[in-house]
Structure 1
């Protein structure tokens, strides 16, 4: 398979020539994350007894009701669950659905920011996602699991640079594009269509018209929290100014 290679950037876009592309071409950091998520779910599904898996959920999934208890009267679980919930999934369908979108939108983000920034982005976008979720579900006992909030963060971040100023979407070398300012982003027709469809989809999910990835009830507010984090704050992580 052939791959385009950059020659000279022009107005934030890349002129390209042709060369060979590997059949499987993901950033190593993202590949590691995907294998890690698969390993965790496989261990929970095939190796852990149900009682032990329930302990995993209790200690690593996000639970809004946990924050109605004075923090001094409980352990430190409240401290890490806003991140660790993103490594757990409710089913193989849920995991595969998230992997699909992570490959599509996470790959250009990871190529652009690198592994170290990826780790920080993952933790903060996961926390931002459940921060908005808990505003709407304060004190509820329903647990939240899944990387959907982080995936939404990738989508929001990608919207800042995968579309060229002319509105076209760059593919193999989207990570080399100039990051659009917020003003440019909000006047880019392609970005507006993309974000409009994204928000409409999540609004319909919130109305219960359909679910996603076999995950049962969908924490759509967490999706929005993650997306807004990536969209508004991607400049914190972007090494290309």
Structure 2
């Protein structure tokens, strides 16, 4: 009998594997860079009050713009449903939104890709703004911040990021590989429902003036958060590149 030559096994590298500190998709890094750049630009010391007021008026969302004939106004109504999401009022505001963006935008961007992520940002920003406008029709206050988009990303993540896969919980880094749950399937997941309940409770506190994080001196547009969350949760399938796994909805979840 001929001797069989076993494949040579390389010794394992005893050195620990290095994990990148920020393992984020490039489009998320670009998003964060844009937010920081806009914030830095808005805080240039040499800006006069008149210049800052013009910038806020020109790029913030204001419900009153849509309560009058658009033909009698400037063109701000075209871009402000999106550009307001790039503005922030203070350091706490942008830091809080950026942290949540890194957590929830990463799995969504990995799943749907950069181009669809940009489209998702634009449409979820508009959905959040017009939810705010519907409840405060004709109001002349200015809406700024990416919180509505962040809420939409949270809603989208509920459709795929929380399920139990093969009896184990997957990390957020691998969550984009999960099958997409249908709306009813997601609502049958105790993990998703618990998360939604906590999210609603947090926004309810904000609605009553109790701010859990961020700048408590500034009013928070909780209604825009709800508009964004509903957009992401209900319409995520329109952006998803992965087919829905029908058997996933029928399988028991979070047991």
Normalised by the length of structure 2, the TM-score is 0.84
Q: Which residue of 2 aligns with 1:8?
A: none
Q: Whole-Å Cα distance in 2 between the matches of residues 212 and 82 of structure 1?
A: 24
SS at match of 1:145: coil
Q: Which residue of 1 aligns with 2:78?
A: 79
Moved more, 223-232 or 75-84: 75-84
Q: Whole-Å Cα distance in 1 between the matches of residues 171 and 196 of structure 2?
A: 17
State the 1:50 CA deviation: 2.4
Q: Whole-Å Cα distance in 2 between the matches of residues 169 and 224 of structure 1?
A: 27
Q: Which residue of 2 aligns with 1:214?
A: 215
Question: Is the contact made by 2:202 and 2:212 (CA closer than 8 Å) also made in structure 1?
Answer: no
Moved more, 58-67 or 157-166: 157-166
State the 1:211 CA deviation: 5.5
Q: Whole-Å Cα distance in 1 between the matches of residues 91 and 117 of structure 2?
A: 24
Question: Is the contact made by 2:152 and 2:233 (CA closer than 8 Å) also made in structure 1?
Answer: yes
Q: Which residue of 2 aligns with 1:240?
A: 242
- Misfit runs of 4+, over 3 Å: 165-170
- Equivalent positions of 1:120-159 (< 5 A) are 120-159=119-158
Question: Are 2:55 and 1:53 equivalent residues in the alignment?
Answer: no
Q: Which residue of 2 aligns with 1:44?
A: 42
Q: Which residue of 2 aligns with 1:197?
A: 198
The alpha-carbon distance between structure 1 residues 136 and 197, as it changes in their structure 2 partners (threshold 3 A), is same
In structure 2, stretches of 5+ residues that fail to align are 1-15, 244-255
Root-mean-square deviation (Å): 1.6
State the 1:21 CA deviation: 2.7
Q: How many residues align?
A: 224
State the 1:227 CA deviation: 0.3
Normalised by the length of structure 1, the TM-score is 0.89
Question: Is the contact made by 2:152 and 2:230 (CA closer than 8 Å) also made in structure 1?
Answer: yes
Of 22, 26, 34, which aligns to 1:28? 26
Q: Which residue of 1 aligns with 2:98?
A: 99
Q: Whole-Å Cα distance in 1 between the matches of residues 170 and 225 of structure 2?
A: 23
In structure 1, stretches of 5+ residues that fail to align are 1-17
State the 1:169 CA deviation: 5.2
